[in-house]
Structure 1
Amino acid sequence: MTDLQSWVAPTCNGLADLLATTAVDAWDAPSLCEKWLVRHVIAHVTMPARLTPEQFGAEMAAAGGDFTVLSDTVAARDASLPVADLLDHLRFPRLHAWQPPGGGAAGALSHAVIHSLDVTIALDRPAVLDQLTAAGGTLFGVDLTGVQLEAADTD
């Protein structure tokens, strides 16, 4: 079986590379996450790179145990960090090794991919999909060489 955790770093690094070459005003564009700009999504995704488990616990207590409140609070606060810092946080090894409580490696990869899409689709640059399929014609260990996707027949 493919080690799903090993896909987190390339997904985050690919998003960082894409955003590093994107105009600065794109960070203030709406994302696919309701009420969040691109910078809020990146602040959210990179939260595990900045918060120790103790800090996360304190944030959770301050949010009354409500993860949505915590997430919105941290995203709003940390979205004001310099773009260079947020890009560095996307590349941080602690983020690449992080796993959500109860989610394991699959949860970590899902978090990275889904939020990458929240940003790249909103910016009309869904390069994360290209990145995921660029590894020698494989996706999660499945050889996709020669496979073509076709639109579903809706008739």
Structure 2
Amino acid sequence: MTDDTALRSAVTAAYLSLADLLDGAGGAGKEQWDTPSLCEGWRVREVVAHMTMAARYTEDEFMAELRACDYDFTRLSDAVAARDAALPEDVLVAGLRSQVMHHWTPPGGGVRGALNHVVIHGLDITVPLGADPTAAEPAVTAVLNDLTYGGGHAHFGVAIEGRALRATDLDWSYGSGPALSGGAGDLASALCGRTLPAGRLAGDPL
């Protein structure tokens, strides 16, 4: 998946699929919103609040928030996620459905960066909820390629030199050496430095 039109369609589909999943988490299932995510210290609601920031803040508002955090993006992310997690669930879901998010790209990241954003954070949510990945297989494959062949794993402090990675649910593999195998989504999460529930991957951890 390299065409920008296909990538953009995959971004939109991933957001809408996640919105559909979380729309079903209201009422009796509301506790799902408070489930700890794969992002340390964040529940599902903090992850959604973080990944939909652009739907609620203009560029000027974002820059004002960033200045208030001394241009520390991690500090900004934590502050906004903590604050906006208190928004009603339907407002958070509306952010996932927003056309703004479907066309947003991270600074310098382009459409591929947007796809990585929605797929990885979607996994941060679906894995602890015990749900299937909300991104389609081609989208997860594209993210795996970015994290391995594209070198994205280094951003998360993960080393993959001398290791083989094997997806058990689709036709994807990388490298040679001692193998780590599991679902494609779980491999993507591991490449992002996430700690997965026991038994989801086979082989020595990265």
TM bucket by the smaller chain?
0.7 to 0.9
Unpaired stretches in structure 2, ≥5 consecutive residues: 142-168, 173-179, 182-201
Distance 1:148 1:103 in 2: 26
User: What is the letter of the counterpart of residue 26 of structure 1?
Assistant: Q
Give the 4+ runs in structure 1 shifted more than 3 A.
147-154
**Partner Cα separation in structure 1 for residue 51 and residue 18 of structure 2:** 11
TM-score calculated relative to the size of structure 1: 0.85
Give 1:1-155 correspondences, 5 Å limit.
1-3=2-4, 4-22=7-25, 23-128=29-134, 131-133=135-137, 139=138, 149=171, 152=181
Q: Which amino acid aligns with 1:107?
A: G
Provide closer, same or farther for how the CA distance between residues 123 and 63 of structure 1 changes in structure 2, counting only shifts above 3 A: same
Q: CA deviation at 1:21?
A: 1.0
Higher relative contact order (CA 8 A, sep 6+): 1
Q: Structure 2 counterpart of 1:118, which letter?
A: D
The answer for the alignment partner of 1:136 in structure 2 is none
Identity %: 46
TM-score by length of 2: 0.64
Q: 1:72 to 1:148 in 2, by over 3 A?
A: closer
Give unmatched runs, 5+ long, in structure 1. Answer: 134-138
> Could you tell me which amino acid in structure 2 is paired with residue 132 of structure 1?
A
CA distance 1:148–1:13, change in 2 (3 Å)? closer
Q: Could you list the per-position Cα deviations for residues 71-117 of structure 1 after superposition, in whole angstroms to 9, with x for gaps in the alignment?
A: 00000000000000000010000011000001110100000000000
Q: Secondary structure at the match of 1:86?
A: helix
Q: In structure 1, what is the Cα distance between the partners aligned to 2:121 and 2:57?
A: 18
Deviation at 1:149, TM superposition (A): 4.7
Total equivalences in the alignment: 142
- Quote the offset at 1:8 in angstroms: 1.1
